[in-house]
Structure 1
Amino acid sequence: MSGLCENRVVIVTGAGRGIGRAHALAFAAEGARVVVNDLGAGLDGSASAEDPAQQVVAEIRDSGGTAVVNGDDVADWQGAQRLIGTALDTFGGLDVLVNNAGFLRDRMLANLGEDEWDAVIRVHLKGHFAPMRHAIEFWRSESKAGRPVDARIINTSSGAGLQGSVGQGNYAAAKAGIAALTLNAAAEFGRYGVTVNAIAPAARTRMTEAAFAATMAKPDSGFDVMAPENVSPLVVWLGSPESRDVTGRVFEVEGGKVALADGWRHGDPIDKGDRWDPAELGVVVQKLIAAADPPVPVYGAK
């Protein structure tokens, strides 16, 4: 390995399994000291007796790396504060925060319950904001004290958040919120030496195997396009000193493909120069739609 993140202190949330586990192992392989955060919860966020974070830490240590477990709930305000404190108390600083934790409670919107909405919005959206908020408190204080900061936040959105996904309205809304939160944080945190980017990954994990079973099969030979380990190289690079000029971007990553997700943009307006009458707007809207590119279809739409 190149040592791209040598001695950088990295937190990865939801790092006990899947993509988060792959991130933690990849950062450690590049010389980072890693805080492996995971509650050990089930796919729907329910309690579990498993301790996958400890297993990941053991893997890292067995390979000669440095890692420590954190089992806090990232969507709990004090829990997120303790998470950042784990990095500061154990390693004396923090360079990279990778927000990855999440779970699913899929249901069509017409049947979605309040608890299913609240739980998914909480773990994804608040579970991104709360660690960010406590991390930037540390980095801002370092910057104001005149100590150089070269820090990174990498958030995890989704194709569902960029295009929507039938049967996942709560998840899509949370992931869309994460994309917007990333742009906002990038604009606000740059003055303190912190970049903020997001990824929208596609890979085979507990969260995706049911929804995409038909397209997630591992090939008989050759490159496993849907392996979660394919996502991590970009995240490691985004967490490295080399990425200091990249911020406020959302990257789609799948297999060997990396692309920029070019989000909402202002379309060319039709300006009357005065208030519209409602009866006039049918023709106007049709002209606007005709001149625009068609939207990307919602996942699962027919």
Structure 2
Amino acid sequence: MCLLQPLFASRISLVQPSNKQTRSIKVDPIVSLQGRTIVVTGAGQGIGKGIVELAIELGANVVAVDLNGQTLDAAVSPLPQARVLAVQGSVADPAVADRAVTEAVAKFGAVHGLVNNAGIIRPAMIDKMTDQQWQEVIDVHLTGSFYWMRATGRHMVERSKGGERTGGSIVNISSEAGRRGSIGQINYAAAKAGMLGMTMTAAREWGRYNIRTNSICFGVVETPMTEVVRGEKFRDGMLAQIPLGRWSTPGEVVKSVCFLLSDGSSYITGQHLGVNGGIHISL
């Protein structure tokens, strides 16, 4: 038995002690998305773009969704077009979610995974937050995630009832703000906390169809959306709360997403995975 089985590779080399010869043996990768079709919202930049790129590398077809057509085109143009479907539209529009699933099934045959990644921030202290600031964040993070879970979930349940046992995997990108709160972002914290509740509910409702639903709670990732938090005003205070003492990058956090999408996590559902440098234990 090889104890060095890789996560993202399918070959390793072993040196035979007797004759010092090297031979390669084939092992099954723990993380593979070969033949799967994954829907990723907020795919035009940052974490979403990284998820799309890694999913393609791991063998998946990808439905890339973003409101901004220019960033979406720039993100998907270098990728193999036969394995990508670009959908421009608002995640807060249920018709866009339904259309994306219909087009994905027409092009790829099925949908096997969803990553609810799209996000915005509208920071303000509670007493100064406007109705619009509140509602815009709730619409994208919470209501939008529900629309996409409903659209993809209906399809996955239908496939399961038809005898297909591959099921599916849904990954909701939540945040430590949803577990600890976030000063100046009651809208964001409320939406991210709500996503945790949706995750657990879907896991309980759809488990019998072999549909797994999990959340990932990121800390501060180096993306355009977190530039304000990472600025001089908050930098030292934020870094002091992170045991690893640094921000995370999209390239390292997307691996956890693809793990939860893959069969490597086939017995994991209803969980909230913290990928945060240890910030959850600092207070």
Relative to the length of structure 1, the TM-score reads 0.76
Among residues 210, 214, 226, which one is paired with 1:208 in the alignment? 226
Distance 1:166 1:91 in 2: 43
Distance 1:73 1:82 in 2: 12
Does the residue aligned with 1:177 lie in a helix, a strand or coil? Answer: helix
Among residues 34, 43, 54, which one is paired with 1:6 in the alignment? 34
Does the residue aligned with 2:86 lie in a helix, a strand or coil? Answer: strand
Aligned partner of 2:64 in structure 1 is 36
Among residues 249, 261, 273, which one is paired with 1:239 in the alignment? 261
**Distance apart, 1:86 and its partner CA:** 2.5
Aligned partner of 2:104 in structure 1 is 87
**Distance apart, 1:66 and its partner CA:** 2.2
Matched ranges for 1:239-278 at <5 A: 239-254=261-276
Aligned partner of 1:56 in structure 2 is 75
The superposition leaves residues 122-174 of structure 1 with CA deviations (integer Å, 9 ceiling, x where unpaired) of: 00001110011011111111111222233100001111111000000000000
* Higher strand fraction (1 or 2): 2
Among residues 158, 170, 173, which one is paired with 1:141 in the alignment? 158
Matched ranges for 1:107-126 at <5 A: 107-126=124-143
- Aligned partners of 1:237 and 1:243 also within 8 Å: yes
- Aligned partners of 1:72 and 1:83 also within 8 Å: no
User: Between the two proteins, what is the percent identity of the paired residues?
Assistant: 36
Distance 1:226 1:238 in 2: 19
Distance 1:95 1:53, change over 3 A: same
The superposition leaves residues 162-200 of structure 1 with CA deviations (integer Å, 9 ceiling, x where unpaired) of: 100000000000000001111111111111110000001
**Distance apart, 1:225 and its partner CA:** 4.9
- Aligned partners of 2:156 and 2:167 also within 8 Å: no
Does the residue aligned with 2:67 lie in a helix, a strand or coil? Answer: coil
Among residues 224, 228, 234, which one is paired with 2:250 in the alignment? 228
Does the residue aligned with 1:139 lie in a helix, a strand or coil? Answer: helix
Distance 2:34 2:41 in 1: 20
Aligned partner of 1:44 in structure 2 is none
- Aligned partners of 1:139 and 1:149 also within 8 Å: no
Paired AA for residue 54 in structure 2: A
Does the residue aligned with 1:152 lie in a helix, a strand or coil? Answer: strand
Q: Moved runs in structure 1, 4+ residues, more than 4 A?
A: none
Aligned pairs, number:
245
Does the residue aligned with 1:247 lie in a helix, a strand or coil? Answer: coil
- Aligned partners of 1:74 and 1:131 also within 8 Å: yes
Matched ranges for 1:51-200 at <5 A: 51-61=70-80, 66-200=83-217
- Aligned partners of 2:66 and 2:87 also within 8 Å: yes
Distance 1:115 1:211 in 2: 21
**Distance apart, 1:296 and its partner CA:** 7.1
Does the residue aligned with 2:105 lie in a helix, a strand or coil? Answer: helix
Distance 1:163 1:233 in 2: 24
Does the residue aligned with 2:77 lie in a helix, a strand or coil? Answer: helix
Distance 2:183 2:195 in 1: 19
